[in-house]
Amino acid sequence: MTRYLQRHGVSCQHEVRVHTAEPDAGYLVRLAADVGADLIVTGGYGHSRLGEWVFGGMTQSLLRHAPVCLLMSH
């Protein structure tokens, strides 16, 4: 995806990172701020209410707390 976007004039980069026990949404928001990103691209998936209560809801957390634009696809 990065190469495709770069061929079309978009300045972008990708990285694969392994992180600690920090919640996923919080990690992505902090990472975006650390690198000066103005867009987070991620998948948006729904789970049962029980599953989100037990494991947390990354999609909802990003929608509520991300200070930058989001592009979500399901």
Helices (H) and strands (E) in the chain, counts: 4, 2
The answer to whether 33 and 63 are in contact (CB under 8 A) is: no
Please state the rounded mean pLDDT for residues 6-26: 80
Q: Look at 70 and 19; give whichever has higher pLDDT.
A: 70
Return the SS3 of 68.
Answer: coil
Distance separating alpha carbons of residues 41 and 28, to the nearest angstrom? 10
User: DSSP state, 2?
Assistant: H
Per the DSSP assignment, residues forming a β-bridge with 39 are: 69
User: Please, what is the average pLDDT of the chain?
Assistant: 79
Q: What pLDDT was estimated at residue 46?
A: 63
